[in-house]
A and B are shown apart, each in its own frame.
Chain A
Amino acid sequence: MKICITAQKDGLDSPVDPRFGRCQYFAVADTETSDVEFLENSNKDGMGGVGIQSSQFILGKGVQAVVTGNVGPNAFQTLQAAGIEVFTGAAGTVAEVLEKFKRGEFKSVNGPSVEAKHGGSENTEI
Chain B
Amino acid sequence: MIISIASGKGGTGKTTVAVSLALSLKNVQLLDCDVEEPNDALFLNPRIRQTQNAVIPVPEIDQEKCTNCGTCAEACAYNALAVIPPKEGRAGTVMVFPQLCHGCGACSYLCPVQAIREVPKRVGVVESGDKGELGFVQGKLDVGEAMGPPVIRQVKALINHEKTVILDASPGTSCPMITAVQKSDFCILVTEPTPFGLHDLVLAVEALRKLQIPFGVIMNRSDLGNDRTERYCEEQGIPILMRIPFDKKIARAYSQGNPVVQIFPEYKEKFQALFQTIKEIVNSK
Which residues of chain A have a CB within 8 Å of any CB of chain B? 46-50, 52-53, 55-56, 59, 74, 77-78, 81-83
Contacts and interface: CB of A to CB of B under 8 A. Distances in A.
Interface stretch (B81-89, B177-185, B201-209, B213-221): B81-89
Contact of A59 (B80, B85, B97, B100): B85
A53 B77 CA distance: 11
A56 B97 contact: no
Given A46-B79, A52-B82, 13 more contacts: A48-B78, A49-B78, A49-B79, A52-B95, A52-B100, A53-B79, A56-B73, A56-B83, A78-B95, A81-B84, A81-B93, A81-B95, A83-B90
B84 A59 contact: yes
B79 A81 contact: no
Contacts of B78: 47-49
Contact of B97 (A46, A49, A83): A49
B80 A49 contact: yes
| Most interface-central of A47, A50, A52, A74 (chain B CB within 10 A) | A52
Interface in B4-38: none
B87 A78 contact: no
Contact of A50 (B79, B85, B90, B93): B79
B80 A82 contact: no
B82 A78 contact: yes
Nearest to A56: B82
Given A48-B78, A49-B78, A56-B73, A74 B97 contact: yes
A65 to B, nearest CB: 14
Interface residues of B, number: 14
B79 A77 contact: no
B84 A49 contact: no
Interface in B62-84: 73, 78-80, 82-84
Interface string B192-207: 0000000000000000
Contacts of B90: 83
A78 B100 contact: no
Nearest to B90: A83
Interchain residue pairs A-B with the least CB separation, the first 9: A49-B79, A82-B84, A78-B82, A52-B79, A49-B100, A52-B82, A53-B79, A81-B84, A56-B82
A49 B95 CA distance: 12
A77 B80 CA distance: 13
A125 to B, nearest CB: 28
A61 to B, nearest CB: 13
B25 to A, nearest CB: 41
Given A48-B79, A53-B79, A83-B87, A77 B95 contact: yes
B146 to A, nearest CB: 9
A78 B84 contact: yes
11 contacts: A47-B78, A48-B79, A48-B100, A49-B80, A49-B97, A50-B79, A53-B79, A74-B100, A77-B95, A78-B84, A81-B93
Contacts of B83: 56
A74 B99 CA distance: 10
Contacts of A50: 79
B56 to A, nearest CB: 16
Nearest to A116: B99
Nearest to B81: A52
Contacts of A77: 95
Contact of A52 (B85, B87, B97): B97
